[in-house]
Structure 1
Amino acid sequence: MEPVLRSAIALLLGLGLFVGGCDRQEPAAGQAGNAAAPAPPLPPQAEAPVPAGQIDRSHKGEAAPDFAFADPLGKTTTLAAYRGTPVLMNLWATWCAPCVKEMPTLEALAAREGSGLKVLTISQDLDGPAKVVPYFNRAGFTRLEPWSDPELRFSVGLGANLPTTVLYDAEGKEVWRVTGALDWAGEEAARLLGEATG
Structure 2
Amino acid sequence: MSKPTEPAKNSRRGLVLAGLAGAVAAVAALYVIAGPNGNIASAQSCSVALEAAKAAKPHAKGEVAAFIPASQPLELKQLTFMGPDNQPVSLADFKDRTVLLNLWATWCAPCRKEMPALDELQADLGSEDFEVVAVSLDRGGPDKPKAFLEEIGVGHLGFYQDSSNALLQDLRKVARATGLPTTILVGPEGCEIGTMYGPAEWASGEAKSLIESTMVRQGT
Q: TM-score of the superposition, structure 2-length normalised?
A: 0.62
Give 2:143's aligned residue: 130
Instruction: Using the TM superposition, give the Cα deviation of residue 196 of structure 1 relative to its aligned residue in structure 2, in angstroms.
Output: 2.4
Gaps of 5+ in 2: 1-63
Give the Cα separation in 1 of the matches to 2:180 and 2:134. Answer: 12
Give 1:175's aligned residue: 193
* Contact 1:91-1:165 at 8 Å conserved across structures: yes
Give 1:102's aligned residue: 114
* Contact 1:68-1:78 at 8 Å conserved across structures: yes
Instruction: Using the TM superposition, give the Cα deviation of residue 165 of structure 1 relative to its aligned residue in structure 2, in angstroms.
Output: 0.4
Task: Tell me whether 1:114 sits opposite 2:132 in the alignment.
Answer: no
Task: Tell me whether 1:80 sits opposite 2:98 in the alignment.
Answer: no
One-letter code of the match for 2:146?
V
Give the Cα separation in 2 of the matches to 1:182 and 1:190. Answer: 12
Q: Which digits, 9 at most, give the CA deviation of each residue in 1:69-98, with x for residues without a partner?
A: 113652111111111010100000001000
The CA RMSD over aligned residues, in Å, is 1.8
1:87–1:73 distance in 2 versus 1, CA, 3 Å = closer
SS in structure 2 of the partner of residue 54 of structure 1: coil
Moved more, 66-75 or 180-189: 66-75
Give the Cα separation in 2 of the matches to 1:72 and 1:171. Answer: 22
One-letter code of the match for 1:75?
Q
One-letter code of the match for 1:187?
G
* Contact 1:136-1:146 at 8 Å conserved across structures: no
Give 1:157's aligned residue: 170
Alignment of 1:6-155 (within 5 A): 54-58=66-70, 60-71=72-83, 73-115=85-127, 116-155=129-168
1:54–1:158 distance in 2 versus 1, CA, 3 Å = same
Give the Cα separation in 2 of the matches to 1:64 and 1:137. Answer: 30
Give the Cα separation in 2 of the matches to 1:157 and 1:112. Answer: 30
Give the Cα separation in 1 of the matches to 2:195 and 2:71. Answer: 8
* Contact 2:99-2:130 at 8 Å conserved across structures: yes
Instruction: Using the TM superposition, give the Cα deviation of residue 195 of structure 1 relative to its aligned residue in structure 2, in angstroms.
Output: 3.5
SS in structure 1 of the partner of residue 67 of structure 2: strand
CA radius of gyration, larger in: 2
Instruction: Using the TM superposition, give the Cα deviation of residue 61 of structure 1 relative to its aligned residue in structure 2, in angstroms.
Output: 2.4
Gaps of 5+ in 1: 1-51
Q: Which digits, 9 at most, give the CA deviation of each residue in 1:22-41, with x for residues without a partner?
A: xxxxxxxxxxxxxxxxxxxx
Greater share of residues in helix = 2
Q: TM-score of the superposition, structure 1-length normalised?
A: 0.69
One-letter code of the match for 1:126?
R
Moved more, 80-89 or 61-70: 61-70
Give the Cα separation in 2 of the matches to 1:91 and 1:83. Answer: 20
Give the Cα separation in 2 of the matches to 1:77 and 1:186. Answer: 29
Task: Tell me whether 1:194 sits opposite 2:208 in the alignment.
Answer: no
Give the Cα separation in 2 of the matches to 1:100 and 1:68. Answer: 23
Give the Cα separation in 2 of the matches to 1:86 and 1:175. Answer: 10
One-letter code of the match for 1:68?
T
Give the Cα separation in 2 of the matches to 1:69 and 1:59. Answer: 26
